[in-house]
């Protein structure tokens, strides 16, 4: 396994739509392992392949709080089949928007079909933090970031901060 570089907004790749996969093979499982390692090290609770620059419909998640009780979830080609009318609000952050957080309202419950780590068709009913996290990550596969749900003013403020942050990161590297 190896850690990959996470793309930071603004980055045009983060705005592209990811493609569905035909099969889950060893190469893809290696990629999922890398994604999981990258997510744990960040640290984060969810990562979409596009965030490491790969435009494929793959998500890794782990919302378990204690590091010794890891419970990773791998979702390939996730497709939401049901969204509840009831909504919930969580303060969301994103590994591609470091240091930025905002309260976002989303359906409180969702059901989805997906392909798992072993390439088998599977489905899941999620609520609470998991439902929010899944919807946040699926948005990534369609080029959507949580700041898109904010007013233009708030969104522009966050992007301005991130541009500054990226410049500082580059200075350190150079």
- Contact footprint for Zn ion (CB under 5 A): 94
CB of 67 to Zn ion, least distance (A): 20
Of 114 and 121, which CB lies nearer to Zn ion in the complex structure?
Answer: 114
> Which among 9, 92, 109, 137 is annotated as catalytic?
137
Please spell the DSSP secondary structure of 31-69, one letter per residue: HHHHHHHHHHHTT-SEEEGGGGT--BSEEEE---SSTTS
- For residue 9, which phi and psi values (nearest 5 degrees)? -65, 140
Copy the structure tokens of residue 133: 């996290």
Of 47 and 108, which CB lies nearer to Zn ion in the complex structure?
Answer: 47
CB of 133 to Zn ion, least distance (A): 9
Of 52 and 94, which CB lies nearer to Zn ion in the complex structure?
Answer: 94
Checking DSSP bridges between strand 87-92 and strand 102-107, what pairing results, if any?
A: antiparallel
CB of 128 to Zn ion, least distance (A): 18
Question: Cα–Cα distance between 7 and 12 in angstroms, integer?
Answer: 10
Residue nearest to Zn ion (CB): 94
Q: Please list the active-site residues.
A: 137
């Amino acid at each position: 396994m190896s850690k990959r570089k996470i793309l930071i907004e603004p980055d045009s790749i983060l705005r592209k739509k990811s493609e569905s996969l035909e099969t889950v093979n060893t190469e893809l499982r290696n990629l999922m392992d890398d994604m999981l390692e990258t997510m744990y090290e960040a640290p984060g609770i969810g990562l979409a392949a596009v965030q490491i620059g790969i435009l494929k419909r793959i998500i890794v998640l782990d919302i378990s709080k204690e590091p010794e009780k890891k419970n990773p979830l791998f979702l390939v080609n996730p497709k939401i089949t049901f969204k509840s009318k009831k909504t919930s609000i969580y303060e969301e952050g994103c590994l591609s928007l470091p240091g930025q957080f905002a309260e976002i309202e989303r359906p409180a419950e969702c059901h989805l079909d997906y392909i798992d780590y072993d390439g088998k068709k599977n489905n899941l009913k999620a609520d609470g933090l998991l439902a929010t996290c899944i919807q946040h990550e699926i948005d990534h596969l369609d080029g959507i970031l949580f700041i898109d749900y904010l007013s233009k003013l708030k969104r522009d403020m966050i992007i301005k901060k991130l541009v500054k942050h990226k410049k500082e990161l580059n200075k350190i590297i150079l």
